[in-house]
Amino acid sequence: MRSPIAPLLAFLAAWFLLPNAPVQAAPSQEPLAAKPAAAEPTAAEPFLWRIEKGPMKGYLYGTIHLPDARALALPGAVEEAFKASGSFFAEIETTPKAEQEVQVAALLPPASRLDQLVGEETWARIEARMASAGLPPMYSAGMARMRPWALGATLPMLKYLPELSAGKPPLDKMLFQRAGKEGKTVGGLELPAEQIAAFGVFTQAEHIRILKDSLDEMDRLEAAGRDLMEETLSAWLSGDEQRLLALMDSGFGSDPELRERAAAALLWRRNLRMASRIDDRMKATGETFFAVGALHMPDAPAKADGAPVDPSSSGDGAAEPRRSESTFEVAAGQVAPKLGLVTLLRQRGYTVQRIR
């Protein structure tokens, strides 16, 4: 019999490319209308930008790491940009070797078990979530081997587990595989170890706290009749940057300080690294297509006089980049501005034009 940990880890590796699907949603928001499964599976306004500097030309596509048919059906503009590009780069390479590295990192040491770390009450809630998703009890053994951050990433996505375990890829992996089959140069902007290291900003106790907060929030959303994954997908399909930012901002627990640290490690610091590597790839290759989680595109809403700046303004034309005045420490004295890839590439001299 196949070990129950295998499909869980395959599931995690398949969409690990981002913790871009947050574990919580802002309590003040009203639910978006669920998009029916039979609706036209194309984005109303895809997160697609044309990037140019001198002779260098390419595309930046903000993705969502889901295997949903509506995400996998590329809008016409995205399809054209993909076909026109001779090179393709995702956040990380979705090769068997890279996925195995994620899987190994997701496991606790052999002597540790998550059910013992979180306590009986919390573990019973986790098992209840698995049962409500229609998964057999044997999966609990696999879940007990996972680190708190890995399980926290998995729980909101349980409805996609059957598809991912059966081999249906999320959008980024589908694009990576297709690019390879079509003979494009393929690669990643980060190493798996670099993404995994982002979770090191939290202690194990903080990871457990975030996991428990996430369970509370998922219960609250379900009681209100809301589907977080559907809301996230709907915001992405409509090209709604503001809604995606709002969903992200309330993720990773109820403590604002933890949320700030999470955003620094998982978005802003990584954005600096990816912008630098996009610049390097553009210099070394021809027309290039970059696929990165959509939450990496806009800046954080900068507040002046208490009013948030419209984050969608970062996506129009080649206007002067909007700089966020607020920065914060991420690690060892390093400071990352709360800027998205669109602004960071403009600061590097690129013309960045959203394709509408």
pLDDT tens digits along 149-170: 888 888 888 888 878 777 888 9
Query: The tokens 């295997």 sit on which residue?
Result: 67
pTM: 0.83
* Region 50-62 average pLDDT: 96
3-class state of residue 202 by DSSP = coil
pLDDT tens digits along 180-205: 999 999 999 999 899 888 888 899 99
In the prediction, which pLDDT does 59 show? 98
- The type of residue at 165 is S
Strands 303-304 and 307-308: antiparallel
What would you report as the CA-atom Rg of the chain, rounded to the nearest whole angstrom?
A: 20
In the prediction, which pLDDT does 11 show? 54
pLDDT band, residue 352 (cuts 50/70/90): very high
Between 29-38, 59-68, 105-114, the lowest mean confidence (pLDDT) is in 29-38
* Region 300-323 average pLDDT: 43
Q: Which residues of 100-132 are buried (b: 16+ CB within 10 A; e: fewer)?
A: ebbbebbbbeeeebbbebbeeebbebbbebbee
Nearest to 148 by CA among 120, 106, 198: 106
pLDDT band, residue 249 (cuts 50/70/90): low
pLDDT band, residue 225 (cuts 50/70/90): very high
3-class state of residue 294 by DSSP = helix
* Region 5-16 average pLDDT: 54
pLDDT band, residue 5 (cuts 50/70/90): low
pLDDT tens digits along 90-132: 999 989 898 888 888 889 999 999 999 999 999 999 999 988 8
> CA 177, 183, 185: angle at the middle one, nearest 5?
80
For residue 61, CA distances in Å to 239, 307, 328, 338 come to 11, 29, 27, 20
- Is 249 within 8 Å of 20 (Cβ atoms)? no
Percent of the chain with pLDDT over 70: 76
What are the residue ranges of helices labelled H in 3-158?
5-15, 69-72, 76-84, 96-105, 114-118, 120-132, 139-143, 148-154
In the prediction, which pLDDT does 13 show? 53
In the prediction, which pLDDT does 221 show? 86
- Is 292 within 8 Å of 63 (Cβ atoms)? yes
Q: Is 244 exposed, middle or buried (0-12, 13-18, 19+ CB in 10 A)?
A: buried
